[in-house]
Structure 1
Amino acid sequence: MPAVQAAREAARRMSCSNNFKQIGLGIHNYHSAFNQLPTHMTGTWGDAGSNDGTHSRLEHSGGRLSIFVGLTPFIEGQALWEQISNPSMGIDGTTGRGGGVPYSAMGPSPNNGGNYGPWQTEIPTLRCPSDPGSGLPAYARVNYAACLGDSPFRGSAGQYDNSFNSTTARSQQLQAAQRGAFVPREKMGFRDIVDGLSNTIIAGEIATDLGDLDVRTMPRTDLAMLGDTYGTAPTGSPSLCSNHADIDPTRPQFFMVASLLDANEGRGHRWAGGQPVFTVMNTMLPPNSPTCLLATFEVGDVQTFERQRSGVLPPSSRHQGGCHVLMGDGAVKFITDSIEAGNGANTPVSANGGVATNNGPGAASPYGLWGSLGTRAAREVISEEF
């Protein structure tokens, strides 16, 4: 039986790799069509102050869509894309967003899409066959996530606040800290990946949450790290996540207490949602390490939910010993949990340009080979196999 199980897992792992290759091909075809990568955290939104009754999140997607929404017609999801890009009623066939009014094109916010059919539709290409997660409480699961680099700063909403207003300060913070292939709400392309497509991770695999307090899939939200001000030097590091007080010392793969997140807000629980916990990974802690979210909201963001926070979000998988990542050139690599990842006690690259720190804007990644692979233009030299 062990040999049979191993053979079955090898087949599932190969199928997962093939899915990722399809996603990579879809990204390249998308870039050929639009001369850019699909935008992370995009979509429709109302006027400034879009939380008011005039512009509810049922009327627009709130600028919270993942890269996979735009990719649907490029990964054999044309029929689903037709539903998304046109007005449609709800899955009950009558109410839509209330009073018989259909949902607008591009749908409601994935956080408010319980009656919107496309957000409830699971896409086989976005699922790893080794992951047993299925059905509720998730909306529709996804096992792949966009890489945002080696820092959590401004990783939730980019340079914009919740009403889509920007400031020069937030724009500077974004440019300094968000160094991955994808940047929230920014147009990115292959020309931005100066380090080379074959040397840069653009997406990674993630395990979906099964409700079992797995340290990889239901992040803690009380990480005493960094706070919400950029006028002071960073005060925490990813190692706080690895050594979190909630981790069970007798079963270090699990937390002892439940997260503040709702049951339907675990890793990979909404393929259409661009918020960090759903479809984002970064390269601070190595694969299959614990996940954590920032203790407080990012400066200038009026946010009320833990799911909207950025944090330490390593990739993960149900495969033995590592997970798949997608490189910019379309190659799929299997990265082991033991990849050289520097010192997790280092503070992340800071968005604060005014404080003397070794990890300020433009610094080499403090997370070794792993962190270097996550940055698009930090000019690190990749001199070893991975």
Structure 2
Amino acid sequence: MRIRRNAFTLVELLVVIAIIGVLIALLLPAVQQAREAARRMQCSNNFKQLGLALHNYHDTFGAFPYGSRAGTVSYPNLSGVNWRTSILPFLEQKNVFDQLNFETGSFNEPFTGNEVLNNLVIDAYICPSSPVDPKVAAPNALNGNQGSLMHQYVGIAGAYPDPGGRTAVVKQTARGYAAGTGMLRPGEVTRFRNATDGTSNSLMVSEQSGMVDGVVLAANYGGGWAGQPESHPVPSIGSTSENYYYTGLTTVRWQINYETATASSSSQPYENNTILNSLHPGGVMGALGDGSTRFIPETIDMEILRRLSACDDGQTVSF
């Protein structure tokens, strides 16, 4: 007498496995999209924090911080700071800020006098979609011991060529074109009244959380906190061969997510036209002068992007 047992045949089992595989293949992109949507939302929240911090700074001091400024100690100590250091108290980092030595301390490794900055990570300066380790510096950046956070958000100093055709406030240097027409400027401060095109039409901060041809090239030559070696603003640049550069800012010259680095412009972290980029599909996040957050598509017309990057060129464009 035979006992009949109920079970799957080999063919049935293979069919079930195949169906499960198809379902997983269909579901996986949706899961990835959901994860990226969450990361993009977090990135947008970071920009909201930065916009609010910059506005609170303006309310407190009557102006936005120097986009990048020199300090009292000359290169290579880079004792000056950029806007990302200045707004620390408004990012709930007042305890860190109060320990900083702005007279003789270094804002680059080894952070002599400012050891509190060593290995300090501020989540508000890091894009959650970026696979880039924020402690890994670009080639030729001053971050040999990886103790300085490589910030992934950059201030907008202006654009080249200037949409208004001005040349006195956009100067060519040995390190690329430098502008003093944006919301965050090298060597000087701005106020709301400087944004004559309207704060809602002026890009203030954007992203450098991606890579250029597989290399990290962001405005972090002296690390994420340092400023610039020269103390003068852009209008006082006297020569196209002047070795003028800054940390924490970029003068917009290239298309978003542009994949080619250009010598003496965007090929080094000490050049002035480092590219806006990210790993968000299709563009970058940005904060406008009114504190609002926008997604800027990589397909944006360059003339519109330049107009958004210059806050006082008289070429108003609605975002």
TM-score by length of structure 1 reads 0.58
Q: How does 1:157-176 map to 2 (within 5 A)?
A: none
Structure 2 contact 278–284 (Cα < 8 Å) conserved: yes
The one-letter amino acid of 1:23's match is L
Taking the aligned partners of 2:52 and 2:103, their CA distance within structure 1 comes to 26
Letter in 2 for 1:116: E
Structure 2 gap segments, 5+ residues each: 1-27, 138-145, 163-167, 173-177, 229-244
Q: Given residue 44 of structure 2, which amino acid in structure 1 is its aligned partner?
A: S
Separation in 2, partners of 1:208, 1:105: 34
Cα drift, residue 106 of structure 1: 6.8
In terms of Rg, which structure is larger? 2
**Which of 141, 147, 170 is residue 150 of structure 2 equivalent to?**
141
Paired AA for residue 192 in structure 2: F
Partner residue, 2:79 = 62
| Structure-2 change in CA distance of 1:112 and 1:184 (3 Å) | farther
| Aligned counterpart in structure 1 of residue 205 of structure 2, from 203, 206, 220 | 203
Does the 8 Å CA contact 1:21/1:330 hold for their aligned counterparts? yes
Name the SS of the counterpart of 2:286 in structure 1.
strand
Q: 2:253 aligns with which of 280, 284, 287?
A: 284
Match for residue 225 of structure 2 among 235, 249, 272: 272
> Are residue 150 (structure 1) and residue 103 (structure 2) matched?
no
Aligned equivalents of 1:144, 1:195: Cα separation in 2: 23
- Once residues 152 and 179 of structure 1 are traced to their aligned partners in structure 2, the CA distance between those partners, rounded to angstroms, is 11
User: Which residue in the other structure is 2:284 paired with?
Assistant: 323
Aligned residue number for residue 108 of structure 1: 106
- State the alpha-carbon separation in 1 of the partners of residues 194 and 275 from structure 2: 23
Q: Give 1:309's aligned amino acid.
A: E
| 1:187 matched residue in structure 2 | 189
Report the counterpart of residue 73 of structure 1 in structure 2.
89
> Are 2:122 and 1:123 equivalent residues in the alignment?
yes
1:345 aligns to what? none
Give the counterpart letter for 1:36 in structure 2. Answer: A
Shift of 1:189: 1.4
1:26 aligns with 2:26: no
Q: Using the alignment, how far apart are the partners of 1:172 and 1:198 within structure 2?
A: 22
AA aligned opposite 2:305: W
CA contact (8 A) 2:158 2:309 kept: yes
Count residues in correspondence. Answer: 254
Letter in structure 2 aligned against 1:140? L
Q: Could you say what the CA RMSD is over the residues aligned between the two structures, in angstroms?
A: 3.2
Deviation at 1:292, TM superposition (A): 4.0
Q: Distance in 2 between matches of 1:172 and 1:288?
A: 23
Q: Which amino acid aligns with 2:225?
A: A
Asked whether the equivalents of residues 206 and 268 of structure 1 are also in contact (C-alpha less than 8 Å), the reply is no
Alignment partner, residue 255 of structure 1: none
- CA 1:282–1:42 in structure 2 vs 1: closer, same or farther (change >3 Å)? closer
Gap regions ≥5 residues in structure 1: 52-56, 86-103, 154-169, 219-265, 297-305, 342-367
Equivalent pair of 1:146/1:202 in contact (CA under 8 Å): yes
1:278-323 CA-partner distances (Å, limit 9, x unpaired): 5223332221114646539xxxxxxxxx64332x323111110000
In structure 2, the partner of 1:335 is: 296
Which residue in 2 is equivalent to 1:4?
A: 31
Does the 8 A contact of 2:207 with 2:276 survive in 1? yes
Cα deviation, residue 122, structure 1: 1.2
Distance 2:198 2:35 in 1: 35
The question of whether the paired residues in 1 share the 8 Å contact of 2:48 and 2:292 is answered with yes
Matched residues in 2 for 1:188 and 1:326: separation?
16
Partner in structure 1 of residue 8 of structure 2 = none
Distance in 1, Cα, partners of 2:253 & 2:169: 22
Check the 8 A contact 2:71/2:227 in 1, yes or no: no
Give the superposition deviation at 1:191. 1.2
What residue in structure 2 maps to residue 356 of structure 1? Answer: none
Taking structure 1 as reference, are residues 372 and 26 closer, same or farther at Cα in structure 2, changes over 3 Å only? Answer: same
SS of the counterpart of 2:294?
Answer: strand
Identity %: 29
Q: 2:68 aligns with which of 13, 23, 41?
A: 41
